[in-house]
A and B are shown apart, each in its own frame.
Chain A
């Protein structure tokens, strides 16, 4: 017997409380990831050491690169008397020893429960001239890692962005969301092709996909500089990619510095990429370069060349909300049938958006859930199977137990490599997704078919 099947007991079961096999993790991890996208930044975890170690380890397992962060190293004393002294000492030690440009503090459930007043502690701390300390409150018992990422982006804006130029500069901000460094590079490549000056923050390219040089840099060459984030207040427009990870920061930037915020989905899939490029074209009025038109044409050509491999297949998708929303759109473009769509992050807006897409596509009877867990997803798949599962590494238990082809997508991917460098955004990302999805289905066909049905040409 496949022992992994034990997870779903026999007979009807109802799952009403707690989480079994979560599809999210806690806020501080997202805040730490966002902070790593600032050049010369040391993320700081205000809590006990375990949290910091866990977040670093989790990020390291996904990116296979060193992740540096300091911790307030709470012990019982700090927990009883408050963590103000620990944070002040930390700030002093961090600048004295690790000498970052900026320190990005996030809280933990422990310091939140104690009720440490971070703005005041930071205000009265000794911060060396020319250095910055920003903070975000990230209680782990609220939201998810995506909420924490969004919060840290907001903190960058509210602490750093300045509108100090007499007129807005002909430049654009991009908030890329919780995507891989490879995606951020691809966004930059597209924007460069369009000839627009861009400030993208956070930007973990060059930080978490850095080359092996035999030289260790605590602060790698990549990341958005503090000066650039300051200057984002002088931009004409902000493209905020993803409602859950980026829209809040764009709103604050609009409010604080009068930079027009344009809310978009992540540029994953054909329509998502089209919308991203058209938003830039519409604002700045450039012609779309032939190179991008060519790439788009290649995507459509490939979609037609391969559509019979996947069209009409039932697919289950889970992961972070912005990723899943954008991918669901592309799956519909591909003619696939998303029957189960789930995110671990709370938010009714997720369900509304997915349901609308599915309704518009004429798909009925799908199950859509925010703040769900993988127990539920597996239960659904057991009740009515799917042809393909798409999601993070945690989907591999379901894929094995239920014998479903599986495509890894999103965060975290802990059991495969190279993915942080390979974009899923843009037209190139479309090609990669088409390849992964087709191959998963075709590999399964080659594995399962009878000898007489085994074919060279597919």
Chain B
């Protein structure tokens, strides 16, 4: 039977998606985004629960209890590379493992029993209780159960209202997580948290120790991180969040709202930073120094930037020589990451011919489009057929994305660099710029590729 793939031409694309794709320099209209995915599409998107879990799970000493059938807990068990310097509690998987009878009669009792057992066993400083599709559907009142448990056990039991079906957009889950965080850090009546000269680092998940690297830079400048949201954080440290004098925001999708809340509630100003790529890192460190308005800090920042830039220049130059003229595609979750990647790949002499995100907003797409050369393609919430089509049409050499794009790119003979939560290499800061260049290089220039093009290969 002939079963060649779906024609990778225009037919493979859903016509209703045409507004979700545009060409830089040519299209006049804004991209259509944040739509719900079509029924029947092979989307790369996830759900509300997924978004909430990604944001909260790095809180290391909390117990993360998923209230639902087993799958939701199983698929999110320690799949993100957020590192901890202390507790490893967050890497265990807790589920109420709902059964048929719980669905019929309600799962509140079982949830309460699970919380009791967890408190008795582990005495965690906080338990995050995640709602899932079913618990939302049958109307389990997790807020009430958590309230009761908090009172009963004198420990924080915090509901996360993350029923998957509310939206196919992870951003809605980020908000659910943000609400839970605000609930955790808002001081109780009478509590007073003193302002310090420290800063919070929002939207930094300490993947491969990236927060630790930023902490080193800041320490050298004479600035201390109060707490990161949420990489390598603890419940106690998060409660000190109102004491910061500044909030840095890295992953804007997940944390802008939190930053706005912190400004409203505690008067803490915030600024966007980006530690991906040497240029971005330098720019961010200068921005932070400007905030402190202290000549010593500024001088230290400049010294650090000069030293590190000089240190990594030879390595980057070596990679740039190998990579100049290669063509790259980017498909990532949030827009901030896409922007960072565009700049980083450019630094390596690579041309970006395709960029897409799962959750970008209209104004973010405008930024992306303005950064790209004419003719580059921009897509929102794409699917494998589109990715395939563009990778081939645009003659892409290397793609940056997540786990689902990795295997697809490989099959097409395209190199790949993981810039998702699965990454195992520190990609932030000056050292990260070199690591990133190496990752791009080893995948783009793997000696294996040449065997594809021999008669014995399959191509």
Contacts and interface: CB of A to CB of B under 8 A. Distances in A.
B117 A141 contact: no
Nearest to A211: B458
B50 A397 contact: no
A144 B70 contact: yes
17 contacts: A3-B84, A22-B95, A25-B74, A51-B47, A53-B44, A60-B404, A66-B411, A74-B168, A89-B40, A97-B6, A98-B385, A109-B132, A142-B99, A213-B452, A213-B457, A215-B458, A217-B4
A142 B65 CA distance: 19
B98 interface: yes
Given A25-B70, A76-B167, A50 B1 contact: no
Given A48-B133, A98-B6, A214-B458, 12 more contacts: A18-B94, A22-B74, A48-B164, A50-B49, A50-B50, A66-B411, A71-B37, A87-B39, A109-B69, A109-B133, A140-B70, A216-B408
Interface stretch (B85-93, B151-159, B195-203, B427-435): B85-93
Chain B CB within 10 Å, residue with most, of A58, A64, A78, A109: A109
In which size bucket is the chain B interface?
Answer: 35 or more
A360 interface: no
Interface of A: 3-4, 6-7, 9, 13, 15-22, 24-26, 28-29, 39-40, 42, 44, 47-58, 60-61, 64-66, 68-76, 78-79, 85-87, 89-94, 97-99, 101, 108-110, 113-114, 139-142, 144, 210-219, 221, 225, 227, 344, 394, 397
Given A98-B6, A214-B458, A48 B388 contact: no
B194 to A, nearest CB: 31
Nearest to B7: A99
A68 B133 contact: no
A48 B168 contact: yes
Contacts of A215: 5, 411-412, 458-459
Contact of A73 (B36, B65, B121, B413): B36
A31 B97 CA distance: 19
Contacts of B459: 213-215
Contacts of A75: 36, 165-168
B292 interface: no
Given A18-B94, A113-B134, A48 B47 contact: yes
B45 A53 contact: yes
A439 B213 CA distance: 38
B41 A73 contact: yes
B20 to A, nearest CB: 14
A18 B404 contact: no
B1 A225 contact: yes
B73 interface: yes
Interface string B51-69: 0000000000000010011
B45 to A, nearest CB: 5
Contacts, number: 276
B126 interface: no
A57 B77 CA distance: 13
Contact of B113 (A17, A69, A139, A211): A17
Contacts of A221: 3
A110 B134 contact: yes
Given A50-B47, A140-B69, A26 B74 contact: yes
Given A3-B86, A76-B167, A25 B75 contact: yes
A226 B387 CA distance: 28
A218 B165 contact: no
B390 to A, nearest CB: 12
B110 interface: yes
B442 interface: no
Interface string B157-190: 0000000111110000000000000000000000
A121 B289 CA distance: 62
Contacts of B137: 79, 110, 113-114
